[in-house]
A = this chain, B = another copy of it.
């Protein structure tokens, strides 16, 4: 019986990954429903427990109940554990246990890992998993330590350590959860350069993906970065700086957001809010008070998201970069799509279209359904659907007011966004098709 279940599991890694995520979300739901997870006097519905567990496991950070004021310390640890499992991927965790138990890691199990990390080459996948965990824990430890030191200025040491660990792990995993209360995220630290810069660095490191991190660590030895790493880093930085400039322009005179700040704080807030939609989800200002144009920019940044194999979501920086260079190739009348002096093959470009169009359709359908179930303005609904699908966790105010049907729609969006189009498709569909013969070329007029 056990073997049969296990065989069925490893026969389709995407299906195993999907079911694994569902199981973890359900376990989290039960744990968060326990009275011990809540502060005294607080209660939680099943749907809110499910929402919180899904939001944590999918490292989204949308919250129907304020994390800091509704949940107990035990509840916080449950949420943080779900974030850690979701962020590193439960597959990575599974291997960790497997290795600790000195069990041999089979080829099939490595295939599951491959799917989980979105890696293409099978070799070295075990080494990679170990390094993933090593890097993640190292960065989380450093982040937690630095946050703890900072928070010691504001609170007793015990609480500072507790807050330091929670926010170090949450922010590196792009999880968007915070303990500061009242849905205000990090608003108290809007003028604090240390907290802002540390957060930005942790978000970037978490969002680059482990492949890039490993590449960066080995840079001292290799003296070169892979094409993938270069594209991920360049795109991340370009969107970061470009987004910050536009946000600064749009919000400069908005009295509800940047207006009262001095110039240095305005720049700092622009940088943080250019980075956080991709897909950290923390904030120091009220997103609902941003101008409409700025909110739309954040929607675009959320949709693009972070780099593959990272803790975040969206269509990914490399997908975006490939689409852009495909456009440039057409305008230049070139036959090949070229990115940083490397030819990108058609199948990669097609994959980029697929990810983008699939994501676009999910966000559009999600927005339409939420438009029907919720009575909020279109931008608020679009913002929420994009934030959920790209596992960002920023909200323009809709989440705490969601209807029960709306909560289910958002849960499905977070889940689909975290697993991505390919895992979802192969979880229910066939693995590969064979091309029996090539069709003749068809002429068609485009545009």
Interface 0/1 of A395-421, CB less than 8 Å to B: 000000000000000000000000011
The reply to whether A339 and B447 form a contact with Cβ atoms under 8 Å apart is no
Cα(A211)–Cα(B446), bound, Å:
13
Q: Which residues of B contact A154 (CB under 8 A)?
A: none
- A244 interfacial contact with B, CB 8 Å: no
Q: Closest Cβ of chain B: how far from A148's Cβ, in Å? A: 34
- A124 interfacial contact with B, CB 8 Å: no
Q: Closest Cβ of chain B: how far from A245's Cβ, in Å? A: 13
The reply to whether A445 and B120 form a contact with Cβ atoms under 8 Å apart is yes
The reply to whether A291 and B372 form a contact with Cβ atoms under 8 Å apart is yes
Q: Please name the residue on chain B nearest to A228 by beta carbon.
A: B444
Q: Closest Cβ of chain B: how far from A300's Cβ, in Å? A: 6
Q: Which residues of B contact A430 (CB under 8 A)?
A: 332
Q: Closest Cβ of chain B: how far from A237's Cβ, in Å? A: 17
Q: Closest Cβ of chain B: how far from A122's Cβ, in Å? A: 14
The reply to whether B340 and A442 form a contact with Cβ atoms under 8 Å apart is yes
CB under 8 Å from chain B, chain A span 425-447: 425, 429-433, 435, 438-447
CB under 8 Å from chain B, chain A span 223-273: 226-228, 231, 250
Cα(A351)–Cα(B367), bound, Å:
28
The reply to whether A352 and B227 form a contact with Cβ atoms under 8 Å apart is no
**How many copies altogether?**
2
- A13 interfacial contact with B, CB 8 Å: no
Sample of 29 A–B contacts (CB below 8 Å): A120-B445, A226-B443, A228-B445, A231-B444, A292-B377, A296-B371, A309-B445, A315-B447, A316-B447, A318-B445, A322-B444, A323-B357, A326-B354, A329-B350, A331-B429, A333-B433, A334-B435, A336-B435, A339-B442, A341-B439, A342-B440, A342-B442, A344-B441, A345-B441, A348-B444, A349-B349, A352-B446, A377-B379, A421-B447
- A186 interfacial contact with B, CB 8 Å: no
The reply to whether B354 and A292 form a contact with Cβ atoms under 8 Å apart is no
- A73 interfacial contact with B, CB 8 Å: no
Q: Please name the residue on chain B nearest to A441 by beta carbon.
A: B343
The reply to whether B343 and A330 form a contact with Cβ atoms under 8 Å apart is no
- A103 interfacial contact with B, CB 8 Å: no
Dominant SS at the A interface? helix
Q: Closest Cβ of chain B: how far from A431's Cβ, in Å? A: 7
Q: Closest Cβ of chain B: how far from A167's Cβ, in Å? A: 29
Q: Closest Cβ of chain B: how far from A432's Cβ, in Å? A: 4
The reply to whether A330 and B351 form a contact with Cβ atoms under 8 Å apart is yes
- A281 interfacial contact with B, CB 8 Å: no
The reply to whether B351 and A425 form a contact with Cβ atoms under 8 Å apart is no
CB under 8 Å from chain B, chain A span 351-399: 351-355, 357-358, 364, 367-369, 371-372, 377-379, 381-382
- A347 interfacial contact with B, CB 8 Å: yes
The reply to whether B355 and A446 form a contact with Cβ atoms under 8 Å apart is yes
Cα(A358)–Cα(B446), bound, Å:
13
Q: Closest Cβ of chain B: how far from A207's Cβ, in Å? A: 14
- A142 interfacial contact with B, CB 8 Å: no
Q: Which residues of B contact A315 (CB under 8 A)?
A: 447
Q: Which residues of B contact A339 (CB under 8 A)?
A: 442, 444
Q: Residue A318 contacts which of B429, B435, B444 (CB distance < 8 angstroms)?
A: B444
Q: Please name the residue on chain B nearest to A433 by beta carbon.
A: B332
The reply to whether B293 and A250 form a contact with Cβ atoms under 8 Å apart is no
